[in-house]
Amino acid sequence: MSIPRGGNSGGGSTSLDLTPLLDASNNSDDSDQETGGKSNGGAQLNNSSSVSSKELRSSHRDREREEADAAMFVKKVGSALFYGIASFMITVVNKTVLTSYRFPSFLFLSLGQLTASIIVLGAGKRLRLVTYPPLQRNTFAKIFPLPLIFGFNMIFGLGGTKALSLPMFAALRRFSILMTMLLELKILGVRPTTAVQISVYAMIGGALIAASDDLSFNMQGYTYVMITNALTASNGVFVKKKLDTSEIGKYGLMFYNSLFMFVPALLLNYVTGDLQKAIDFASWNDPAFVVQFLLSCVMGFILSYSTILCTQFNSALTTTIVGCLKNICVTYLGMFIGGDYVFSWLNCIGINISVMASLLYTYVTFRRKQAPDKQAHLPSSRGESV
């Protein structure tokens, strides 16, 4: 494109050619459009990449959460099964030692269980298999009142095992569940669900029906078991509390509970004359009895460990009811072990009601894919007021 310049004078004319400028302007506009298009495309690509990255991170977190939930579920169920098996084994072995062999002293047997726990945990620490803090001046104050609860729970539990038939011992032990519920509500501020409460009340009702027609009633045995129930409930709740607030840990609790109760248990054996009765027992030369006595002592340590483990991964109430759930096997085998069970229809019906209620609780507690928190927590001041 050209524009004429000047007149006709001199017969000449000039023209200004604007074509290069227009071409350059058009090229610049095209370049700007291309750049803008590329910029918009880059922004869209960045946005898409950002969204995709967020989705990947969210998916990764969901997978990690699911894996953690699955691992915790395995720990909960595994620790409960471990505790149930250990509790079943020690109940049967203790009954065999105390009733079938007529060993004269449940106090001496409890002393043997304390000794086994001290030896096993002491050796485990030296071999670096377990760790727990060294003994200090304030160690007893940190774990009090657990040593007293632990020691007397063991003593009265063995006394009840010796005095009662296993089916009635198992039925009466279910009273500890109601006590645990009340203590968890008061001390830990935890309220069980309606389904849990129904199963607990059904177990208690079955135990009462069974006790109403117990043809081998033994007042001393009933007293021992009810004391054991209160101590079991207290032990479960305080173990949960100490594990959450103390740095001593589960191995430390086991070791120091046994250590602090060893001397009182030894003195109690001496004062009551049970120490001499145990020494004079005639079956010490029977290998079968010695094996079962030693097994009872070692199982005492395993039971303590499984109790703390189950309480740590579940709750005090779960530990208590799993301990009663194992009595399904103990109840029926106990009709033949020891030879001290007297059958009656009402007693048998009550025992079976209690067993069915135990199964109901197990179903309610360990259903998978249920809400993680099965218990509604009350305000924390309820737990702190004690």
DSSP secondary structure, 224-290, as one string: HHHHHHHHHHHHHHHHHHHHHH-SSHHHHHHHHHHHHHHHHHHHHHHHHTHHHHHHT-GGGG-HHHH
15: DSSP letter: E
Q: Is the pLDDT of residue 291 over 90?
A: yes
16: DSSP letter: E
Q: Which token pair is 239? A: 């173990």
* 8 Å CB contact between 221 and 163: yes
CA distance 327 to 355: 8
The confidence score (pLDDT) of residue 376 equals 40
For residue 150, what are the contacts with CB-CB under 8 A and spacing of at least 6? 235, 257, 258, 261, 304
Q: How far is C-alpha 75 from the chain's CA centre?
A: 8
Residues 331-345: pLDDT tens digits?
A: 788 777 767 778 888
CA distance 117 to 123: 10
CA distance 373 to 386: 24
Domain ranges of the chain: 73-370
Measured at the CA of 122, the angle between CA 79 and CA 265, to 5 degrees, comes to 85
Amino acid at the residue 22: L
* 8 Å CB contact between 203 and 354: yes
The confidence score (pLDDT) of residue 384 equals 34
The confidence score (pLDDT) of residue 332 equals 81
- 51-60, 173-182, 195-204, 358-367, range with greatest mean pLDDT: 195-204
Residue in the structure block whose two tokens are 């043809």: 215
Neighbours of 197 (CB within 10 A): 14
Element (H, E) at 196: helix 194-212
Q: Which token pair is 374? A: 């099965």
Q: Which token pair is 303? A: 């039971």
335: DSSP letter: T
* 8 Å CB contact between 237 and 145: no
**Higher-scoring residue by pLDDT: 291, 51:** 291
- For the chain, how far is it from start to end, CA to CA, in angstroms? 100
The confidence score (pLDDT) of residue 64 equals 82
Give me the chain's average pLDDT, please: 79
Residues 157-214: pLDDT tens digits?
A: 999 988 888 888 888 887 887 888 888 788 778 888 888 889 889 989 998 898 888 8
Residue 48 — pLDDT band, cuts 50, 70, 90?
low
Q: Which token pair is 10? A: 């001199």
